[in-house]
Amino acid sequence: MIELQAVSKLYRQGHVNEIAAVREVDLTLADNAVTVLKGPSGSGKTTLLTIIGCLARPTSGRVRLDGESLSGLPEKFLAGIRRKTFGFAFQRFNLVSGLTAFENIMLPAYPLAPRFSDLRARVHELAGLFGVSHRLDLRVDDLSGGEMQRVAVARALINDPRVIIADEPTANLDSERAAQFLDIVATLKARGKTVLMTSHDPRIWNAAVVDRVVEMADGRIVGAP
């Protein structure tokens, strides 16, 4: 379980152009559920996602994972938590250009240094799950948008994390690809994963697989069932 307690995030703190991206947010995310953060641009969704995913630290407030506070941990430990607990699928996929799909999927596992044969088997398993087995040897620059996204999701799962974080996952996808993505989410949920997404997209909010929609505006939560 992930708990946020009075979490705020200020950018350019102390300067005249200080921005409060997130203000006093209290939120609890249950395990094995699909949660969507919705809201207009600038409402603080992505910033909240980065704080939950240990990519950024809150300016104030606490983030707890299974009761353990993450807010004061040094960067080295946060990197370890990012690696083992969270898998990230970014809006622009953020695959490493010039590497093959196979190499990109393996990347989060490098610091854990598993046996290469085990890692290769895991890559093939995930590629099979998301229908990109036949594209593994291609450079990611040569993949279609949908294939890139599936490679990005496979990469997010390579270390078998508990929580999948996806930022605007359907922003660049047509209806068919968006539906495929929701199928992937359903698969992840069926495998016991917790999924947290941000989205502008009504196709996401209204999807049957989504358990909870949290609405944000001006850095605050304005609607959370």
Partner 1 sequence: MNAWLARQRYLVDYAAASLWRRRAKNAGLWLIYVGLIFILGSVILFGSAIRREAGWTLEGSPDVVAQAMRMGRHDFARESDIAKLKSLRGADRIEGRLWGYLFDTATAANYTLQVPSAFAPDYALARGEAIIGEGVARLRKLSEGRHLFLVSPASKFLKLRIRKILPTSSALASSDLVLVSQEDFRAFFELAPDQFTDIAMRVRNPGEVNTIAGKGALALAHYRFITRASMQRTYEALFSWREGLLLALLVGAMLAFAILAFDKASGLSAQERREIGILKAIGWETSDIIRMKLWEASLISLTAFLAGVALAHAHVFLMSAPLIEAVLKGWSTLYPRFTLAPYVDALQIATLAFLTVVPYIAAVLAPIWRAASADPDSVMR
Q: In Å, how far are 63, 139, 151, 215, 221 from 42, measured between CA atoms?
A: 21, 34, 28, 13, 13
Nearest CA-CA partner of 164 in 31, 28, 69: 31
Q: Which of 1, 96, 171, 222 binds partner 1 (CB under 8 A)?
A: 96
According to CB under 8 A, which one of 19, 55, 186, 224 is a site residue for partner 1?
Answer: 55
* Angle (deg, nearest 10), helices 116-129 and 145-157: 130
Q: In angstroms, what CA-CA distances link 221 with 3, 45, 57, 81, 164? A: 14, 9, 19, 26, 21
Asked if 150 contacts 132 with a C-beta cutoff of 8 angstroms, the reply is yes
Handedness of CA 211, 129, 79, 73 (dihedral sign): positive
115 three-state secondary structure: coil
171 binds partner 1 (CB under 8 A): no
Using rule CB under 8 A, residue 108 touches partner 1: yes
* In the complex, minimum distance from the CB of residue 57 to partner 1, in angstroms, rounded to a whole number: 8
Q: Which of 149, 159, 170, 199 binds partner 1 (CB under 8 A)?
A: 159
Q: With respect to partner 1, which residue has the nearer C-beta, 211 or 218?
A: 218
Using the rule CB under 8 A, is 110 a contact of partner 1? yes
List beta partners, residue 20. 10
Nearer to partner 1 (CB atom), residue 51 or residue 178: 51
Please tell me the count of residues contacting partner 1 according to CB under 8 A: 36
Binder of partner 1 out of 1, 26, 40, 111 (CB under 8 A): 111
- Least Å from the CB of residue 175 to partner 1: 25
Query: What character string, x for contact with partner 1 (CB under 8 A) and - otherwise, covers 112-141?
Result: xxxx--------------------------
H runs (alpha helix) in 53-96: 75-85
Binding site for partner 1 (CB under 8 A): 46-47, 49-50, 55-56, 75-76, 79-80, 82-84, 86, 88, 90-91, 94-99, 103, 107-108, 110-115, 155-156, 159, 167
